[in-house]
């Protein structure tokens, strides 16, 4: 199923209204666009209309609301776009790459080219693109099993990711990791973890290393930051809290990015997480200040908003001011994994978020602000398709791992297999390089 | 003389095993010991040897750092990092909050990105809380990343049955960790091998789980100099013999040697091998010994079920079956939680009399040596 990208932009909905809340004295620059007066009166009218509708009858009547820019984007007379054309195109390309790659994965899975648990990111691209495209190559990214797009945003070649998914030896992890364990030493993607929460401390370790390099080893230029991505479900895992505490305590350059898509397989966030005091809903971003770091809630379906928030968090971290907790409200258009029947989420909820698809939003923004022409956008999309199709071809044609790979990466130092009866190290025995040596 | 003193210490002479007790006498004796060691340059206690190893390796390589509970200002609950924070700073000797899974994971991430952390479990048993990180990440990441990242981590701490510390402070985790692919398990037993092995573990690119024993920290002996680095995969021949091969490790080595004293008087000639490397086994030393004696006894402190002895017994059975005259005997702890009461605790672990009895049974009669 390909996600239809319509021309209509985002629908006004209650959650968007309340979606930018800040639990910290934090300056949030507003997106210029519609003139203030018009926006607010229109907004008020619509609110009245909507609440009127709700109050009038229990069953909801379909209300035709014309698309407007997100309401918090009020006011400023300046029509300067938030980003340059180059950046806008880069963001668009990255999001479309993420989307097309994931949709291709779905096709390949159902055609029997990849197996096991495959968790697709479709719908959440604004978070990955919004954050990761701001990072340098020496910055680190840690993710969970929903990691394909994080790797792609970090510049890991699509070929290597697809080949890994096909289980070929040309994959980024030689076919040994698979969908849930994407690693890249070159682009500093530290995984890919199957157990949610277990990657966050690893991210902290990378941030610790960055600080250590500066404070202990005296490398003044060491200011790399680490971003750990995880979901709403992870926010109930103990390691999340252990990590929040240590990150704030040691003032580590680490950014916690919560991709709150409201669902942990079939468990709704509202059923799994207790409400923060005085609130109607459980707010994850409010847990930041409890540990001594700013907590920010952002519309995770809007790549420019995510980017703004991420920019500030990254700069804070680089300056040595410590961690930030970002809660991005987002949604996955597909089930938890390709094996998930996805029966619990309501059609209305899915439809609501489909209308907030980040890719058409950005496209509209680019066209409105003259950041790209239709032709240029089409060119970007065509380029993406080329890359994705090439990655499939590459993966198909790549060889499978040989038996000899079996024992190769178990130990960094193969002496760890021990000493055999004849006094030689086991890795020196014949058969080791063909994976047939007896090593235990 | 030192051997018998150590045997007494290792056997759990009550004064010896007080974990991290910060009463004035304890502190004074620590400082006195350091001063005495400096003067003599000969015999030091095991905790000092471990401390020396950590100190020397931290000096040699600036990426080596320590993380754990109370390792910094407190000096380590068993004094293994005493005073090191003053020399290296709070970041290199990092006092962590109480979150084993979290800080072990942080150690893994730091190791992946170029540091060489030593993660201390205040008691090995606490590392059960870090099992997720140790098993999934520490052991496996080199493989699942296709060799892109290594995790040169040392995870160390005191385990074993102490003196009436209760069930949860008397854990032997070597049996739980041995199935984890990608980690090496090393158990030190003497001052000399403790220092040399810890240095080797810190220098190794593999993740090493380094087992110390609560009752061995005050054992005395000579330590090597800063260049003495042991081989992590080699077993140690403690005593050459011909009658029977006794395989052991950690504190049970002293229990076995106590039994050996008695056995020698009775005319026996046992060979004692300290495994050192619990995973992988040093098959060269083990097979040489068995081919000589044709009989094997394993004396271990972990539980019988799924213990190191279980693995070793299976391996001996598979690869040295025709060299054996007798089935492999395993003397292990009972599969019960370690009781608090002295008598019950003593009954759960192997005593030297059991070792003597096992040797007598497996070897048969002997002419006792002239008194």
pLDDT score, position B1: 57
Q: Over pLDDT 90: what percentage of chain A?
A: 79
Nearest CA in chain A to B235: A419
Q: Is B259 in the same domain as B203?
A: no
Distance CA B305, CA A139 (A): 46
d(CA A5, CA A122): 12
CB within 8 Å of B297: residues ≥ 6 apart: B244, B245, B246, B247, B328, B329, B330, B331, B355, B358, B359, B362
* Candidate from B144, B149, B233 with C-beta closest to A418: B233
CA distances from A38 to A41, A43, A45, A314 (A): 5, 8, 11, 34
User: Which residue, among A3, A328, A401, has the nearest Cα to A175 in the 3D structure?
Assistant: A401
Is the pLDDT score of A62 beyond 70? no
Tell whether A1 is covered by a domain: no
> What is the token pair recorded at B322?
């025709």
Regarding whether B184 and B324 lie in a shared domain, the answer is no
The DSSP 8-state label assigned to residue A367 in this structure reads H
Q: What is the mean pLDDT of residues A361-365?
A: 97
**pLDDT tens readout for residues B222-240:** 999 999 999 999 999 999 9
**Of the candidates A368, A185, A332, A346, the residue with the CA atom closest to the CA atom of residue B142:** A185
pLDDT at B28: 57
CA geometry: angle B347, B350, B351, nearest 5 deg = 85
A176 CB neighbours in chain B (<8 A) are 143-146
Specify whether B131 is located in the same domain as B158. yes
Closest to A214 in 3D by CA, of B56, B107, B71, B115:
B115
What residues of B are in contact with residue A175 (Cβ under 8 Å)?
Answer: 146
Q: Do A192 and B144 touch (CB under 8 A)?
A: yes
Using the predicted structure, report yes or no on whether residue A375 has a pLDDT greater than 70: yes
Q: Does B241 share its domain with B303?
A: yes
Could you write out the DSSP letters of every residue in A70-131? -TT----S----SS-HHHHHHHHHHHHHHHHHHHHHHHHHHTTSS-S-----TT-HHHHHHH
How confident is the prediction for chain B on average, in pLDDT? 92
Q: Are residues B179 and B316 in the same domain?
A: no
CB pairs under 8 A between A and B: 193
| B367 vs A203 pLDDT, higher one | A203
CA nearest to B201 within chain A = A416
The nearest CA of chain A is from the CA of B314 a distance in Å of 11
Residues from chain A contacting residue B65 (CB–CB below 8 Å): 212, 216
Q: What is the pLDDT of residue A42?
A: 55
Mean pLDDT of B156-165: 95
Residue A362 lies in a domain: yes
Among B109, B149, B204, beta carbon nearest to A183 = B149
Mark whether B188 and B251 lie in a shared domain: no
Quick check: helix, strand or coil at residue B31? helix
Of the pLDDT bands very low, low, confident and very high (cuts 50, 70, 90), residue A87 is: very high
**Residues B275-311: b if buried by 16+ CB within 10 A, e if exposed:** bbbbbbbbbbbbbbbbebbbbbbbbbbbbeeebbbbb
Between helix B100-112 and helix A238-249 the angle, nearest 10°, is 70
pLDDT score of A74 more than 50 = no
Q: Residue A177 and residue B145: Cβ atoms within 8 Å?
A: yes
For chain A, the average pLDDT equals 87
Of B222, B256, B273, which marks where a domain is finished?
B222
Chain A positions in Cβ-Cβ contact with residue B113 (cut-off 8 Å): 140, 190, 205-206, 209-210
The predicted model gives A61-80 an average pLDDT of 45
pLDDT in tens, A214-229: 999 999 999 999 999 9
Range from B96-105, B165-174, B184-193, B359-368 carrying the lowest mean pLDDT? B359-368
Confidence of residue B6 (pLDDT cuts 50, 70, 90): confident
Residues of B in Cβ contact (< 8 Å) with A415: 206, 232-233
A328 vs A28, which has greater pLDDT? Answer: A328
Measured CA to CA, the distance from residue A335 to residue A341 in angstroms comes to 7
The answer on B198 and B74 residing in a single domain is yes
CA distance A406 to A434: 8
- The tens digit of pLDDT for each residue in B289-317 reads 999 999 999 999 999 999 999 999 999 99
Residue B340 is assigned to a structural domain of this protein: yes
Q: Are residues B211 and B64 in the same domain?
A: yes
Neighboring chain A residues of B154 at a CB cutoff of 8 Å = none
Residue A280 has, within 13 A of its CA and on its CB side, a CA count of 2
Instruction: Indicate yes or no: CB of A242 within 8 angstroms of CB of B101.
Output: yes
Residue B317's domain is classified under what CATH number? 3.40.50.920
Interface test mutation site (partner B, options A412, A415, A437, max chain B beta carbons within 10 A): A412
Option in B109, B136, B147 nearest A195 (CB): B136
- Chain B residues with beta carbon closer than 8 angstroms to that of A192: 144
Give the integer Cα–Cα distance in Å for A32 and A15.
21
Cα of A253 to nearest chain B Cα, Å: 13
Residue ending a domain, choose from B200, B222, B244:
B222
Nearest CA in chain A to B61: A217
From the list A117, A103, A18, A33, the residue with the least C-alpha distance to A67 is A33
Tell me: the pLDDT tens digits for B61-90? 999 999 999 999 999 999 999 999 999 999
Cα distance between residue A184 and residue A189, in whole Å: 5
B274 and B191, same domain (yes or no)? no
Residue B22 domain flag: no
Q: Give the CA radius of gyration of chain A.
A: 23
- Count of domains for chain A: 1
Q: Domains in chain B: how many in total?
A: 2
Ranges A73-77, B160-164, B297-301: which has the least confidence: A73-77
How far apart are alpha carbons B231 and B288 in whole angstroms?
Answer: 18
State the average pLDDT over residues B335-362. Answer: 96
Q: Identify the closest residue of chain A to B312 by CA–CA distance.
A: A440
Position B12 scores a pLDDT of 58
Complex-level ipTM: 0.89
A369 in a domain, yes or no?
yes
Burial code (b: 16+ CB inside 10 Å, e: under 16) for A92-106 equals bbbbbbbbbbbbbbb
Identify the pLDDT of residue B368. 76
For residue B228, the distance in angstroms to the closest alpha carbon of chain A comes to 19
Are B82 and B119 within one domain?
Answer: yes
Nearest to B148 among A185, A410, A421 (CB): A185
Q: What are phi and psi of A88, to 5 degrees?
A: -60, -45
Please check the confidence at residue A183 and state whether its pLDDT lies above 50. Answer: yes
Alpha helices in A172-225 (DSSP H): 199-215
Residue A327: inside a domain: yes
pLDDT at A372 over 60: yes
Strands lying side by side in the sheet with B296-303:
B236-239, B271-274, B245-248, B296-303, B329-333
Q: Distance between CA A315 and CA A279 in Å, rounded?
A: 30
d(CA A416, CA A410): 9
The per-residue pLDDT for range A6-26, each reduced to its tens digit, is 333 333 333 333 344 445 544
Read off the pLDDT of residues A410-439 as tens digits, 9 standing for 90 and up: 999 999 999 999 999 999 999 998 988 888
> Please, is A195 exposed, middle or buried when counting C-beta atoms within 10 Å of its C-beta (0-12, 13-18, 19+)?
middle
φ, ψ for residue A299, nearest 5 deg:
-70, 105
- pTM beyond 0.90: the answer is no
B307 and B346 assigned to the same domain: yes
Q: What is the mean pLDDT of residues A85-114?
A: 97
Is there a domain that residue B19 lies in? no
What are B247-266's pLDDT values in tens digits?
Answer: 999 999 999 999 999 999 99
Determine the distance from the C-alpha atom of residue A331 to the mean position of all C-alpha atoms in its chain, rounded to a whole number. Answer: 11
- Mutation target vs A (from B126, B134, B144; most A CBs, 10 A cutoff): B144
Closest listed residue to residue A93, CA positions, set A395, A372, A399, A405? A372
Predicted confidence at residue A14, as pLDDT, reads: 35
Residue A413, classed as helix, strand or coil, is coil
Return the residue matching tokens 């966030």. Answer: A269
What CATH number does residue B146 fall under? 3.40.50.970
Q: Specify whether the CB–CB gap between B333 and B350 falls below 8 A.
A: yes
* List of E strands, chain B: 43-45, 64-68, 93-95, 116-120, 154-159, 184-187, 208-213, 220-222, 236-239, 245-248, 271-274, 277-279, 296-303, 329-333
Burial class (CB in 10 A: 0-12, 13-18, 19+), B322: exposed
Judge whether residue A370 has pLDDT over 70. yes
What are residue A366's phi and psi, to 5 degrees? Answer: -65, -45
Residue where one domain finishes, among candidates B222, B257, B280: B222
Q: What is the pLDDT of residue B39?
A: 53
Lowest mean pLDDT among A162-171, B3-12, B148-157: B3-12
The answer as to whether B34 is a domain residue is no
Of B99, B146, B284, nearest to A409 by CB-CB distance is B146
Q: Residue A329 above 50 pLDDT? A: yes
Give the gap in angstroms from C-alpha A298 to the nearest C-alpha of chain B: 27
Quick check: is B26 in a domain?
no
> Residue A113 maps to which CATH number?
3.40.50.970
**pLDDT of res. A55:** 41
CB atoms B65 and A212 under 8 Å: yes
Of residues A30 and A278, the one with the higher pLDDT is A278
Is residue B66 a part of any domain in this protein? yes
Q: Is residue A203 part of a domain?
A: yes
**How far is B148 from A438, CA to CA, in rounded Å?**
25
Q: How confident is the model at residue B41 (pLDDT cuts 50, 70, 90)?
A: low
Residue in chain B closest to A213 (alpha carbons) equals B63
Q: What spatial distance separates the first Cα and last Cα of chain A, rounded to whole Å?
A: 48
Instruction: Quickly count: other Cβ atoms within 10 Å of residue B40's Cβ.
Output: 10
Is B152 in Cβ contact with A206 (below 8 Å)?
no
Q: Which domain holds residue B106?
A: 44-222
CB contact under 8 A, B102 and A242: yes
* Residue range A299-316: mean pLDDT, rounded: 97
Q: Based on the fold, state whether residues B247 and B327 are members of the same structural domain.
A: yes
Provide the b/e sequence for B46-65 (b: ≥16 CB within 10 Å).
bbbbbbbbbbbbbeeebbbb
Q: What is the pLDDT of residue B9?
A: 72
Residue B148 has pLDDT above 50, yes or no: yes
Containing domain of residue A370, as a range? 85-398
pLDDT confidence band for B118 (50 / 70 / 90): very high
> Is residue B15 assigned to a domain?
no
């Amino acid at each position: 199923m390909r996600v239809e990208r319509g021309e209509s932009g985002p629908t006004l909905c209650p959650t968007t209204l309340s979606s930018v809340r800040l639990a910290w004295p934090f300056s949030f620059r507003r997106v210029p666009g519609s003139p203030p007066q018009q926006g607010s009166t229109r907004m008020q009218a619509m609110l009245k209309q909507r609440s009127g509708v709700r109050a009038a009858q229990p069953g909801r009547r379909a209300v035709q609301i014309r698309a407007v820019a997100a309401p918090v984007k009020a006011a400023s007379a300046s029509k300067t776009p938030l980003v340059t054309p180059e950046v806008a195109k880069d963001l668009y390309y990255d999001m479309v790459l993420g989307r097309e790659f994931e949709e291709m994965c779905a096709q390949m899975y159902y055609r029997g080219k990849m197996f096991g648990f495959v968790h697709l990111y479709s719908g959440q691209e604004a978070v990955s693109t919004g954050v990761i495209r701001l990072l340098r190559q020496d910055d680190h990214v840690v993710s969970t099993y929903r990691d394909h797009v994080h790797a792609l945003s970090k510049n890991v070649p699509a070929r290597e990711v697809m080949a890994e998914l096909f289980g070929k030896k040309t994959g980024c992890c030689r076919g040994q990791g698979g969908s849930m364990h994407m690693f890249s030493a070159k682009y500093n993607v530290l995984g890919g973890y199957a157990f949610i929460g277990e990657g966050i401390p690893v991210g902290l370790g990378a941030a610790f290393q960055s600080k250590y390099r500066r404070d202990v080893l005296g490398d003044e230029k060491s200011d790399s930051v680490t971003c750990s991505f995880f979901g709403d479900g992870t926010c109930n895992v103990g390691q999340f809290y252990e990590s929040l505490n240590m990150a704030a305590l040691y003032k580590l350059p680490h950014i916690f990015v919560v991709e709150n898509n409201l669902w942990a397989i079939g468990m709704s966030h509202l059923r799994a997480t207790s409400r923060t005091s005085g609130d109607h809903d459980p707010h994850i971003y409010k847990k930041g200040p409890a540990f001594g770091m700013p907590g920010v809630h952002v519309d995770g379906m809007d790549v420019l908003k995510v980017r703004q928030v991420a920019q500030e968090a990254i700069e804070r971290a680089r300056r040595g001011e410590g961690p930030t907790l970002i809660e991005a409200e987002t949604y996955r258009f597909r089930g938890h994994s390709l094996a998930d029947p996805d029966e619990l989420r309501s059609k209305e909820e899915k439809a609501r978020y489909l209308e907030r698809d980040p890719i058409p939003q950005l496209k509209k923004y680019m066209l409105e602000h003259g950041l790209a022409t239709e032709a240029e956008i089409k060119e970007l999309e065509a380029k993406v398709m080329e890359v994705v199709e090439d990655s499939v071809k590459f993966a198909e044609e790549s060889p499978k791992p040989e038996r000899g790979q079996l024992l190769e990466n178990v130990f960094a130092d193969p002496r760890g297999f021990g000493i055999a009866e004849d006094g030689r190290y086991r890795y020196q025995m014949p058969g080791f390089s063909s994976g047939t040596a007896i090593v235990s | 003389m030192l051997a018998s003193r150590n045997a007494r210490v290792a056997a759990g002479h009550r004064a010896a095993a007080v974990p991290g007790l910060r009463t004035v006498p304890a502190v004074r004796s620590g400082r006195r010991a350091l001063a005495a060691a400096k003067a003599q340059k000969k015999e030091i206690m095991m905790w000092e040897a471990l401390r020396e190893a950590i100190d020397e390796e931290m000096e040699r390589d600036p990426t080596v750092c320590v993380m754990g509970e109370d390792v910094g200002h407190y000096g380590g609950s068993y004094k293994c990092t005493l005073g090191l924070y003053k020399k290296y700073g709070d970041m290199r000797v990092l006092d962590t909050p109480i979150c084993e899974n979290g800080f072990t994971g942080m150690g893994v991430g730091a190791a992946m990105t170029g540091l060489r952390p030593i993660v201390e479990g205040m008691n090995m048993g606490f590392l059960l809380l870090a099992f997720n990180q140790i098993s999934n990440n520490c052991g496996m990441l080199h493989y699942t990343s296709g060799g892109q990242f290594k995790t040169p981590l040392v995870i160390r701490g005191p385990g074993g049955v102490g003196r009436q510390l209760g069930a949860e402070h008397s854990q032997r985790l070597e049996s739980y960790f041995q199935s984890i692919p990608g980690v090496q398990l090393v158990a030190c037993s003497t001052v000399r091998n403790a220092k040399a092995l810890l240095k080797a573990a810190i220098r190794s690119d593999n993740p090493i789980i380094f087992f110390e024993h609560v009752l061995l920290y005050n054992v005395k002996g000579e330590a090597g100099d800063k260049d003495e680095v042991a081989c992590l995969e080699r077993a140690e021949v403690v005593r050459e013999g011909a009658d029977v091969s006794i395989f052991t490790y950690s504190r049970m080595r002293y229990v076995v040697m106590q039994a050996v004293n008695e056995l020698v008087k009775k005319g026996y000639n046992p060979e004692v091998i300290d495994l050192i490397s619990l995973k992988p086994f040093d098959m060269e030393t083990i097979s040489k010994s068995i081919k000589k004696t044709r009989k094997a006894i394993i004396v271990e402190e972990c539980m019988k079920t799924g213990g190191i002895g279980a693995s070793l017994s299976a391996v001996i059975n598979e690869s040295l079956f025709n060299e054996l005259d007798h089935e492999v005997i395993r003397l292990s702890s009972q599969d019960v939680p370690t009781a608090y009461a002295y008598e019950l605790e003593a009954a759960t672990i192997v005593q030297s009399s059991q070792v003597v009895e096992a040797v007598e049974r497996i070897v048969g009669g002997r002419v006792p040596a002239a008194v």
